[in-house]
Amino acid sequence: MTETEQPQLYLITPPEFDLNSFPAQLSAVLETTDVACIRLALATQDEDRILRAADALREIAHAHDVAMVIDTHVMLAQRLGLDGVHLVDGARSIRFARKTLGPEAIIGAYCGDSRHEGINAAEAGADYISFGPVGPNALGDGTLADTDLFQWWSEMIELPVVAEGALDDATIRRLAHMTDFFAIGEEIWRQNDPVDALRVLMQGLSETAS
């Protein structure tokens, strides 16, 4: 990413949400903010709940011309007609996912704070690498992905990188020129007004670009 390019927004759903209210919240965010991708990241393993959530959110995402991927569930991504899958085991499942979903699918890989795992995932054919958490958070084993990792990646590796996990204004400002996407989830969904929360959170990004 060059100094003039601004990171894009990547939304992560809450691990649990009410299908009677969350789709409207998501739609409101998409109507006010440019979003590159949505990740369905439910904590449940209940297939019926996942299917119903995916059906509801896919319709909203595609109506706004936003790609939608699902955490982990390669076969469900195919079955539901989603745009791809976000894998949480680094490079280990990428080749299987690519073979199953085809060359056009989006396949992302969460690699914690590991340069080595990120490189392996890139070589295996991932479309993007996710590092995190970038702040105190239970993502992965909780080990922070520090600024040096993003700086090194941005200088050495062309594959897009995502920063996620406990993002705040200061972190967004610090990483703005070192990452391609900021993955925002609970940072806004746990607030009363997600649209306003996102606006406040991303204010630093617009200021760094000006």
Write the pLDDT tens digit of every residue in 22-79: 999 999 999 999 999 999 999 999 999 999 999 999 999 999 999 999 999 999 999 9
Q: pLDDT tier at 142 (50, 70, 90 boundaries)?
A: confident
Residue 125 predicted with pLDDT over 90: yes
Which residue segments constitute the domains of the chain, with CATH numbers given?
8-209 (3.20.20.70)
Cα 3 to Cα 30, 155, 161, 169, 171: the distances in Å are 26, 12, 15, 19, 17
The yes-or-no verdict on residue 7 having pLDDT over 60 is yes
Percent of the chain at pLDDT > 70 equals 96
Helix/strand/coil for 173: helix
Give per-residue pLDDT as tens, 71-120: 999 999 999 999 999 999 999 999 999 999 999 999 999 999 999 999 99
- Predicted TM-score (pTM) of the model is 0.94
Task: Tell me which of 3 and 123 has the higher pLDDT.
Answer: 123
For the cut 70, the answer to whether the pLDDT of residue 156 exceeds it is: yes
The first and second tokens of residue 51, run together, are: 């299917």
Is pLDDT at 2 greater than 60 in this prediction? Answer: no
- What is the pLDDT, as a whole number, of residue 82? 97
Q: pLDDT, tens digit, for every residue of 176-198?
A: 999 999 999 999 999 999 999 99
Which pLDDT does position 210 carry in this prediction?
54
Q: Do residues 176 and 7 make contact, with C-beta atoms less than 8 angstroms apart? A: yes
What mean pLDDT do residues 123-135 have?
97
At residue 97, the pLDDT reads 98
The angle subtended at Cα 88 by Cα 84 and Cα 92, nearest 5°, is 90
CA-based torsion, 178, 33, 23, 196: positive or negative: positive
The mean of the pLDDT values for the chain is 94
The rounded distance, in Å, linking the Cα atoms of 123 and 78 is 23
CA pair distance 105, 85, nearest whole angstrom: 8
Cα torsion 16, 114, 125, 92 to 10°: value is -70
